[in-house]
Structure 1
Amino acid sequence: MRDNLARQRTETLATQEVGTVTAILGKRLMVRVGSGEYEAERAVSCLVEPELGDLVLLALHDEGCHVLAVLKREGAGATRLVAEGDLEMSAPAGKVTIRAQSGMCMATPGETTLASGKVRVHAREAALAVEAMSYLGDQLVAKIDHVKTVARSVESVADRWVSRVARAYRFIAESEQVRARYYEVSAKAAVNIKSQTTLVKSGELTKIDGGQVHIG
């Protein structure tokens, strides 16, 4: 009995009224209802940020005034979900789906982290602009019809590099240097080397072997 009486004394009674937002004072709102005009805060559960002229549900209680929900808004403006502090969406037993007809935009001056067991991206067209990027992985498989790369400098470091192509063309404007411990060129049909000056140097042995050798 005493516990019930104590609980009744500590309970805060509230009344609810429907009104219109008349002013926005920083994080506080001026709301006009039937009983008057009040300065109110946005409740934590009211994620939709109220705007001028919105029809809202206002709670009046001993602790102050809080806007519980935005009921109606004139016009076709954007609906903004705003939370004071961190915002977390969780579906422990299911999945989260976000759909948009016109497009989606993610913007933050901080860090964006994506952690997943598997990631799939499907798009007809994509553009990526990154000042610096690093990739760390065990395996990369790419199946592409056409690749064009324009870069000022490219450096590749690998223990083993294998290329299998039907036709290869290289156009080098100035010079090309190959430094190797062992260098082999093998062609089934012919090898053709053309230049104004050709120098062949070896420290120990130079051998030319063929069915016919023509010099000059």
Structure 2
Amino acid sequence: MKVAARSVEILQPGLEYGVIAGHCEKGFAVTSDRGPINANVAVSCLVEPQRGDTVLVSVDDTGCSYILSILERDEDSRRKTQLSFEGDVSVAVRDGSISIASDETIALASKNFELSAHEGRVCLEKTSFFGNLVESNIARIRIVADSLDSIVRRAVQRFKSTYRYVEEHEEVQSASTRMIVDGTLTMHTKNTMHIAEGHVKIDAEQIHLG
């Protein structure tokens, strides 16, 4: 059996140092010892090149060139280092953990945000939350605080049963108050005082005093 052998051209690219001159139609314009080069960014080069960066470029005889890595950047420029991706990105850590730390600020921005974990803990010295709508479905909530201030224009609460224990003083101030009880209303106090500037009216089929 005869096998037709075909000659395969093997490209052996060379490596060049270059400096980013700016953007071009496809990729970046790079100045090097061999002259100007139009190079694309290799997939493995995650740092977005910027003007003035010293880069390592792979160039073959056909003119195909890729920026492999950013070698040096002017420290005095204080430019932001940006990791650039195209398409969906996933970061996976197996048999370990991942940690992100910053001396100043960590900012997250997205159209949609999802966070899922078996157990979580958030420790913040001070926090602020701004939004238009909050919906929660929680089996149990426990809050421990030294003080709690709430300012709400309108509040509606629905409970099957509610219990409230106040060790010291409770005070309610309102323009008007209405209480509707389907069953029995029981008040047990050591001393009771009802003070009205106008009328006091008690209406019932039977009234027992004493």
RMSD of equivalent CA atoms: 2.1
1:81-100 equivalences under 5 Å are 81-100=83-102
Distance 2:124 2:82 in 1: 26
Change in 2 beyond 3 A, CA 1:63/1:161: farther
Show structure 2 runs of 5+ residues with no match: none
1:60-139 equivalences under 5 Å are 60-61=59-60, 62=62, 64-74=64-74, 75-108=77-110, 110-139=111-140
What is the Cα deviation at residue 133 of structure 1? 0.3
Change in 2 beyond 3 A, CA 1:122/1:11: farther
* TM-score normalised over the length of structure 1: 0.86
SS at 1:9 equivalent: coil
The count of residues paired between Structure 1 and Structure 2 equals 202
Change in 2 beyond 3 A, CA 1:147/1:35: same
| Equivalence for 1:49 | 48
| Equivalence for 2:165 | 164
Post-superposition Cα deviations, 1:161-200, rounded to whole Å, max 9, x if no partner, equal 111122211111x11111111322111x211111121111
Distance 1:10 1:180 in 2: 92
Change in 2 beyond 3 A, CA 1:91/1:29: same
* TM-score normalised over the length of structure 2: 0.89
Distance 2:134 2:24 in 1: 43
What is the Cα deviation at residue 63 of structure 1? 7.5
Tell me if the contact between 2:21 and 2:51 (Cα under 8 Å) persists in the aligned partners: yes
| Equivalence for 2:151 | 150
Tell me if the contact between 2:26 and 2:39 (Cα under 8 Å) persists in the aligned partners: no
Post-superposition Cα deviations, 1:105-151, rounded to whole Å, max 9, x if no partner, equal 1112x110000011100011010111100111111111111111111
Post-superposition Cα deviations, 1:82-113, rounded to whole Å, max 9, x if no partner, equal 111122111021111000001211112x1100
Distance 2:73 2:10 in 1: 33
1:184 equivalent in alignment to 2:186: yes
Post-superposition Cα deviations, 1:64-89, rounded to whole Å, max 9, x if no partner, equal 22111111111222211111112211
| Equivalence for 1:25 | 24
SS at 1:40 equivalent: strand
Post-superposition Cα deviations, 1:42-81, rounded to whole Å, max 9, x if no partner, equal 1111111111111111111348221111111112222111
Distance 1:15 1:201 in 2: 102
Letter in 1 for 2:172: R
Identity %: 18
